[in-house]
Structure 1
Amino acid sequence: MRIAVVMGGITSEREVSLRSGQAVLDSLIGQGYNAFKIDLTHENMVSAFTENQFDLAYLVLHGEYGEDGRVQGLLDMLGKKYTGSGMTGSAVAMDKILTKIIAKDLGIRIPKTYEKVKDVKGYPVVIKPAKEGSSVGLYICENENEANLAMENLKNKEPLIEEYIKGEELTAGILGSEKLGVVRIKPKSGLYDYESKYTVGMTEYECPAQIDLKIYEEVLEWAKKIHDKLGLLGVTRSDFLLKDGKAYFLEVNTCPGMTVTSLAPKLAGLKGYTFDT
Structure 2
Amino acid sequence: MKVAVVMGGITSEREVSLRSGQAVLNSLLRQGYDAYKIDLTRENLVSAFIENEFDIAYLTLHGEYGEDGRVQSVLDMLGKRYTGSGVTGSAVAMDKILTKVIAKDLGIDIAKTYSTVEEIKEYPVVIKPAKEGSSVGIYICNTKEEALEAYKALEGKYPLIEEFVKGEELTAGVLNGEKLGIVRIKPKSGVYDYESKYTVGKTEYECPAQIDEKIYEEVCEAARKIHEKLGLTGVTRSDFILRDGKAYFLEVNTCPGMTETSLAPKLAASKGYSFDDLTRVIIESAKA
The TM-score range, normalised by the shorter chain, is over 0.9
Q: After the TM superposition, which parts of structure 1 deviate over 6 Å for at least 4 consecutive aligned residues?
A: none
Instruction: Report the alpha carbon displacement of residue 276 of structure 1 after superposing the two structures with TM.
Output: 1.3
CA distance in 2, matches of 1:135, 1:178: 26
Instruction: Report the alpha carbon displacement of residue 71 of structure 1 after superposing the two structures with TM.
Output: 0.4
How many residues are aligned here? 277
CA distance in 1, matches of 2:31, 2:185: 30
Deviation string, structure 1 residues 129-168 (Cα, Å, up to 9, x no partner): 0000011100000000000000111012100000001100
Aligned to 2:158: 158
Instruction: Report the alpha carbon displacement of residue 30 of structure 1 after superposing the two structures with TM.
Output: 1.4
Letter paired with 1:45: L
Structure 1 residue 234 and structure 2 residue 234: aligned? yes
Deviation string, structure 1 residues 198-256 (Cα, Å, up to 9, x no partner): 01111111010000000000000000000000000010000000011110000000000
CA distance in 1, matches of 2:268, 2:180: 6
Aligned to 2:264: 264
What is the SS of the residue equivalent to 2:27? helix
Aligned to 1:92: 92
What is the SS of the residue equivalent to 2:266? helix
CA distance in 1, matches of 2:4, 2:258: 16
CA distance in 2, matches of 1:275, 1:22: 13
CA distance in 2, matches of 1:232, 1:276: 21
CA distance in 1, matches of 2:229, 2:178: 15
CA distance in 2, matches of 1:2, 1:229: 32
Aligned to 1:180: 180
Letter paired with 1:35: A
Q: TM-score, normalised by structure 2?
A: 0.96
Instruction: Report the alpha carbon displacement of residue 106 of structure 1 after superposing the two structures with TM.
Output: 0.5
CA distance in 1, matches of 2:241, 2:31: 37
Structure 1 residue 45 and structure 2 residue 13: aligned? no
Spell out the pairing of 1:165-244 with structure 2 (5 A cutoff).
165-244=165-244
List runs of 5+ in structure 1 lacking aligned partners: none
Aligned to 2:121: 121
List runs of 5+ in structure 2 lacking aligned partners: 278-288
Instruction: Report the alpha carbon displacement of residue 270 of structure 1 after superposing the two structures with TM.
Output: 1.2
Q: TM-score, normalised by structure 1?
A: 0.99
CA distance in 2, matches of 1:211, 1:21: 32
CA distance in 2, matches of 1:275, 1:252: 21
CA distance in 1, matches of 2:44, 2:244: 49
Structure 1 residue 69 and structure 2 residue 69: aligned? yes
What is the SS of the residue equivalent to 1:132? coil
What is the SS of the residue equivalent to 2:52? coil
